[in-house]
Amino acid sequence: MRIAYLDCFSGISGDMFLGALVDAGVPSQLLEETVAALGLGAKLEISRVVRAGIAATKVDVCVAGQRDLPREVFWEQQAHKQQAGEKQTNDSAPEHSHPPLRQHAHAHSERRTITEIRRTISASPISETAKITAIAIFEALAAAEAAVHDIPLQRVLFHEVGAADAMVDIVCAAVGAEALAVDAWVCSPLNVGGGTVKCAHGTLPVPAPATVKLLQNAPIHSSGPQVELVTPTGAAIVKTLASRFGPLPAMKVDRVGYGAGTREFAEHPNVLRLTIGEAFALTQADVAAGTPDAARATEQMDTDRSNDQFEDRVTVLEANLDDLSPQVLAYAMERLFAEGAIDVFSVPVQMKKNRPGALLTVLSKPEDADRLTKIMFAETTTLGVRRRDERRRVLARRWETVETRWGPVRIKIANMNGTVSNYAPEFEDCRKIAAERDVPLKTVMQEALRVYASGRM
């Protein structure tokens, strides 16, 4: 499994995420083309900077020749202008808008509802997957604002959030995340910073109300500079992409990227680190924790590495369902997958009183089992979930990308005893090509297999 790990020791914002993506290998041209295609009159300025000794990539969104600003700097400038006697319009502080990351003076004429934002993103020339991700990020922001102000979702006006720079941040984040082609996003505990922040609603404690709402159930802490380190845009990106939170997973590191924030701190690198690699199929939790199985696990690791086989632990969650609509069951399964389940499947069963039903089974990482159990209770009609821990044998797997006549397709490759034992094209890559190029899906899959097989000869 290919993992992307966000190390938020200095928080996260939209520009930091874009910088980390570019630094980790996402082509800057891809993001620049995405911005141009949005037709917002914006452009990206990408540069190399150093933050407290750490080299990083800085991405700035420029609209009408103006660069983005941290929002507290923007509102400080507005206060100085007001003191100098410059006229402030009533539009400078809308009742129910939220400035997440950056502001521009030109942005104050823009107010958009979530419906308008959905329409704009849906009409953009990006992939369907990226559209879904971008809309989900905006919907997370809207839901947080609605909860903070106790208003209906459709009444939330995206003022600064809906401005061109934030639209660029979020759409490029979705496109760049897709380009990395990872299987799972994992996030560290987030350093939210401290102190206060000035925004359209006045001076508020850090983290801002919408940020707190977005990071509900996520691990957060405060250390270092007493400024806002996690912005609502950054929090929404994490909420949408991350399947779980925790320490750096066991992985073979492939690439590392650093995205720079706007502010510079003397002894604190204001950067977001993005680490990408292949996860170990065998977790070393037993070894690190000194469990009774530690010696056996270590010995098994040494033995199996030569055979490209590993053993890990999974938690199996099961529930019998005889009164649940198939439509609701399908949604529950999709939700469980989205929340990080390793696998989800259902089997038709005959239950008591000869009622037809379904056996819902979820394979989970042990650390995710409690969270997925809550989802099973919330999304199905079950009154009980069975749970057991099991060991499983896993073949090592990796990804390679082949170039077909229609575009790139990832191939998942399994190894056993040092040789390739199985390989298959990534369905979503093939489905995307089939839809965009009007080519039969099976033809795309066959072509991807042919290209890969010819390369092995």
Contact 229, 220 (CB under 8 A): no
66 Cβ contact partners less than 8 Å away, ≥ 6 residues apart: 104, 105, 106
* DSSP per-residue codes, 222-247: --SSSSB-B-HHHHHHHHHHEEEE-S
Per residue in 328-355, pLDDT tens?
Answer: 999 999 999 988 899 999 999 999 888 8
- Enumerate residues 6+ apart whose C-beta is below 8 A from 231: 11, 12, 13, 14, 71, 100, 101, 211
- Measured CA to CA, the distance from residue 105 to residue 235 in angstroms comes to 24
What's the confidence (pLDDT) of residue 173?
96
In degrees and rounded to multiples of 5, residue 212 shows phi and psi of -60, -45
- What pLDDT score does 395 carry? 77
Which pLDDT does position 283 carry in this prediction?
43
pLDDT of residue 23: 97
Q: Mean pLDDT score of the chain, rounded to an integer?
A: 82
User: Which 8-state DSSP code applies to residue 206?
Assistant: S
- Split at pLDDT 50, 70, 90, the class of 69 is low
pLDDT at 309: 59
Answer yes or no: is pLDDT of 164 > 80.
no
The continuous run of DSSP H or E covering 191 comes out as strand 190-191
pLDDT of residue 59: 96
Q: CA 265 to CA 306: how far, in whole Å?
A: 47
- pLDDT value, residue 92: 36
Quote the CA–CA distance of 118 and 130 in Å, as a whole number.
12
Q: Does pLDDT of 75 surpass 70?
A: no
pLDDT, position 84: 52
- pLDDT tens for residues 269-320? 999 999 999 876 444 444 455 544 444 444 444 444 444 556 678 999 999 9
Predicted local confidence at residue 356, as pLDDT: 92
Q: What percent of the chain has pLDDT over 90?
A: 49
Question: pLDDT of 184-216, one tens digit each?
Answer: 899 999 999 999 887 666 788 999 899 999 998
At 32 the pLDDT is: 95
Kindly report whether the global pTM for this prediction surpasses the value 0.95: no
Per-residue pLDDT at 295: 45
Residue-range domains of the chain with CATH: 2-278 (no CATH), 292-393 (3.30.70.1380), 405-456 (no CATH)
Q: What is the model's pLDDT at position 99? A: 38
Question: Amino acid identity of 278?
Answer: E
Q: What number is the average pLDDT over the span 131-143?
A: 89
Query: How confident is the model at residue 293, as a pLDDT?
Result: 44
Distance between CA atoms of residues 363 and 349, nearest Å: 19
Tell me the one-letter amino acid at 273: R
Using pLDDT thresholds of 50, 70 and 90, give the confidence band for residue 239: very high
pLDDT digits (tens, 9 = 90+) for 240-275: 999 889 889 888 899 999 999 999 998 899 999 999
pLDDT computed for residue 419 by the predictor:
66
How far is residue 184 CA from its own chain's centroid?
A: 8
**Stronger pLDDT, 297 or 427, i.e. the higher one:** 427
Q: pLDDT-derived band of residue 457, with 50, 70 and 90 as boundaries?
A: low
Determine the pLDDT at residue 152: 81
- pLDDT number for residue 311: 66
Nearest 5°: the CA angle 177, 401, 14 is 10
State residue 281's pLDDT score: 47
